[in-house]
Chain A
Amino acid sequence: MEIVLSLAIGILAASGIWLLLRPRTFQVIVGLCLLSYAVNLFIFSMGRLTLAQPPIMPKGGFVDPELYADPLPQALVLTAIVISFATTALFLVVMMASRGVTGTDHVDGKEREQ
């Protein structure tokens, strides 16, 4: 399971970084999305990898933390998803404004000389 998750994070992050460095705004935004998926998975993995175990513990008495998933990374991922969703939407708006104003989707606002 560890190797699958790390491969997934690695591939997502590598693709994201590659796309982030591309000259078209659409590629940049897809790159940012992929990168944020990678980061979210990474946060998730930081609270131990557990399978099919609940993050909510019953109140009172002794609980064995081995039987439960760490709830904190789940809360963090939730927040991170919401925030990156919102900022990506904002970036999309600016990207469309840039496309409308400059007439090109090159990140520098102008095509390279042919």
Chain B
Amino acid sequence: MTAGHLVIAPILIPFLAGALMLLYDDRQRRAKLGFGIASTVALLLVAIELLMRSKGDVSGGNDIGFYLLGDWAVPFGIVLVIDRLSAMMLLLTALLAIPTLIYAAAGWHRQGPHFHSLFQFLLMGLNGAFLTGDLFNLFVYFEVLLAASYGLLLHGTGQFRIRAGLHYIAINLAASLLFLIGVSLIYGVTGTLNMAHLARIVPTLAEGDLPLLHTGAAIMGLAFLVKAGIWPLSFWLPTAYMAGAAPVAAMFAIMTKVGIYVILRISMLLFGPSAAGSAGFGAEILIAGGMATILFGLLGVLASQGLGRMAANMILISSGTVLTVTGFALAGGGPEMLAGALYYLVSSTLATGALFLLIEPMSREEGGIAAMLALTADAYGLDEGADDVTGSTLAIPATLTVLGLSFGACLLVLAGLPPLSGFIGKVAMLAPLMAGVTLDPALAWAFLALLLLAGLATLIGLVRTGIQTFWATDGPVPKVLALEIVPVLALIGLMLLMTVLAEDTLRYMQATAEALHAPAIYADGVFAAPRVTEEAAR
């Protein structure tokens, strides 16, 4: 694939959109909303195009796209890399962002200043983290997305949010410092920060240097495991996620996946089966930690009283599952399980996102959130003025039915019941496991049991809440805006689409997992990147 400027577009589009929005104050909220939606739709189109390219329909292989920033030759400058995995994550981000933004238009974006700019900067950080091929650049994008997420978490203020935000920021600042220590240790040992270069250097390192490299990777891994919410580094997560405003929490559903993405990328590149002395480094930790996370999440789901905390614990289950499978893949479990886990990752992200969007309409009649919203609107001096959602105050009919059906779809996906995508994801993960891959059978059975138990706990927890809300209710039916339910239906439509197109999606995931098992594809692809000046000279 030739180098194209399209690769940098997923970073530039939200950056320009967000920066431009800063020039206008919050009275122009309509225009900002339109602009934000235009930007996310553009992101979606770019992501689809990049996905098609990295699928390599032309060459039939794995096409690695690259963008040399400043036209430096490969190991020296910063390089953006797009392969199947990053293209998939870009697409997932855009698919989650559009419904979330539409949902925010129902009123959430009025709860505080600069919601739309912060949202765009969050997208910029996410896309940058998925695209970068350089460890330190990854740190920079992480800080961009974290800074935006601090602002978004505090969006709407209120005492609960500020307290949760304080903990969230302190934890993430400490984790960022760990990240820096790890990066500098790796640089100290290998003399490079480029991931492709690292993948080539690691197998050739002297025996004596390995402990230092492993220490660096472990310390850096800690920072991402905090983000991914592995037990026991996840105690901050449920509170922070349930404290955020609904659209913010829905976007946060992908933030744990950034941590998982980086763990997956770096461990497969650096410590894959071909990495000589350090092959499979960290696999035991990922397996043990991932399983403990599933256990912790499933207990959390059973113990939760509110739906918000329950949804946050489901995020823990989902990240624990993918982390365990990453560990299995590192330990030589083969690409089949990893393909299933990638499918599961996408479908569970969409489902938790939809669930977070559903929480607020479902618990509206209790008045807690409405009262809080009125309070924050008061604190900011936001008037219920002319630019309010006059055209969109359309309340949908048969509210409870639509809400109930959406909730049921989320439940089916998260619990992994047929016929929706959650079931396919779990089968795709478990079938290779049952077929007897080269794993410790005790571990494999433990994982199987945990995964099924987690599904059961999810089922029990969600059905309990669902009955309370939809059956045993005799209060007035909550007024739900079409603007709030359409995004949820869109996300559920995506899950349905993933179910219908399961074969194609799984084939894509299979090829992605195989490419992850062959780090040479990534490294060679990046090193083949010619500089523009060389191209011109030729």
Closest Cβ of chain B: how far from A25's Cβ, in Å? 7
A3 is an interface residue with CB less than 8 A from chain B: no
Asked whether, in the complex, the Cβ of A94 is within 8 Å of the Cβ of B154, the reply is: yes
17 CB contacts below 8 A, A to B, read A20-B170, A25-B166, A32-B170, A32-B177, A39-B180, A42-B180, A46-B187, A83-B139, A86-B147, A87-B150, A91-B170, A94-B154, A94-B166, A97-B154, A98-B163, A101-B159, A107-B166
Contacts of A36 in B (CB 8 A): 177
Complex interface bits, A80-114 against B, C-beta within 8 A gives 1, otherwise 0: 10011011101100110110011000011100000
Asked whether, in the complex, the Cβ of B181 is within 8 Å of the Cβ of A83, the reply is: no
Contacts of A95 in B (CB 8 A): 166
A-B contact sample (8 more), CB < 8 A, given A42-B180, A46-B187, A72-B193 = A35-B174, A35-B177, A46-B185, A47-B187, A79-B136, A84-B177, A87-B173, A87-B176
Contacts of B154 in A (CB 8 A): 94, 97
Contact residues, B143-187 vs A (CB, 8 A): 143, 146-147, 150, 154, 157, 159, 162-163, 165-167, 169-170, 173-174, 176-177, 180-181, 183-185, 187
Asked whether, in the complex, the Cβ of B162 is within 8 Å of the Cβ of A94, the reply is: yes
A43 is an interface residue with CB less than 8 A from chain B: yes
Given contact pairs A46-B188, A79-B140, A83-B143, A108 touches B169 in the complex (Cβ within 8 A): no
* A102-B154 Cα distance, complex, nearest whole Å: 15
Complex interface bits, A40-79 against B, C-beta within 8 A gives 1, otherwise 0: 0011001100000000000000000000000011001001
Count, chain B residues at interface, CB 8 A: 29
> On chain A, which size bracket covers the interface?
20 to 34
In order of increasing CB-CB distance, the 6 nearest A-B pairs are A46-B188, A43-B184, A46-B184, A109-B163, A83-B143, A39-B177
Closest Cβ of chain A: how far from B324's Cβ, in Å? 30
* A88-B253 Cα distance, complex, nearest whole Å: 25
Asked whether, in the complex, the Cβ of A98 is within 8 Å of the Cβ of B177, the reply is: no
Contacts of B150 in A (CB 8 A): 87, 90, 94
Asked whether, in the complex, the Cβ of A102 is within 8 Å of the Cβ of B159, the reply is: yes
Closest Cβ of chain B: how far from A41's Cβ, in Å? 10
* A91-B171 Cα distance, complex, nearest whole Å: 11
Given contact pairs A42-B181, A46-B188, A32 touches B166 in the complex (Cβ within 8 A): no
List A residues at the B interface (Cβ < 8 Å): 20, 25, 28, 32, 35-36, 39, 42-43, 46-47, 72-73, 76, 79-80, 83-84, 86-88, 90-91, 94-95, 97-98, 101-102, 107-109
Closest Cβ of chain A: how far from B98's Cβ, in Å? 28
Asked whether, in the complex, the Cβ of A83 is within 8 Å of the Cβ of B184, the reply is: no
Q: Which single residue of chain A is at the shortest CB-CB distance from B76?
A: A72
Q: Which of B147, B187, B188 contacts A90 (CB 8 A)?
A: B147
Q: Which of A28, A32, A43, A86 contacts B180 (CB 8 A)?
A: A43
Closest Cβ of chain A: how far from B171's Cβ, in Å? 10
Q: Which single residue of chain A is at the shortest CB-CB distance from B167?
A: A107
* A90-B150 Cα distance, complex, nearest whole Å: 8
Asked whether, in the complex, the Cβ of A88 is within 8 Å of the Cβ of B173, the reply is: yes
Contacts of A28 in B (CB 8 A): 170
Q: Which single residue of chain A is at the shortest CB-CB distance from B137?
A: A79
* A87-B183 Cα distance, complex, nearest whole Å: 19
* A108-B239 Cα distance, complex, nearest whole Å: 12
Closest Cβ of chain A: how far from B331's Cβ, in Å? 30
Residue among A25, A80, A98 with the most chain B CB within 10 A?
A: A80
Closest Cβ of chain A: how far from B174's Cβ, in Å? 7
Asked whether, in the complex, the Cβ of A94 is within 8 Å of the Cβ of B169, the reply is: yes
* A29-B157 Cα distance, complex, nearest whole Å: 21
Q: Which single residue of chain A is at the shortest CB-CB distance from B180?
A: A39
Closest Cβ of chain A: how far from B144's Cβ, in Å? 9
Contacts of B147 in A (CB 8 A): 86-87, 90
Contacts of B183 in A (CB 8 A): 43, 76
Contacts of A39 in B (CB 8 A): 177, 180-181, 184
Contacts of A46 in B (CB 8 A): 184-185, 187-188
Contacts of B180 in A (CB 8 A): 39, 42-43, 80
Contacts of B143 in A (CB 8 A): 83, 86-87
* A39-B219 Cα distance, complex, nearest whole Å: 12
Closest Cβ of chain A: how far from B238's Cβ, in Å? 16
Closest Cβ of chain B: how far from A38's Cβ, in Å? 8
Asked whether, in the complex, the Cβ of A42 is within 8 Å of the Cβ of B166, the reply is: no
Contact residues, B274-333 vs A (CB, 8 A): none
Asked whether, in the complex, the Cβ of A98 is within 8 Å of the Cβ of B181, the reply is: no
Closest Cβ of chain A: how far from B129's Cβ, in Å? 14
Closest Cβ of chain B: how far from A51's Cβ, in Å? 18
Asked whether, in the complex, the Cβ of A73 is within 8 Å of the Cβ of B177, the reply is: no
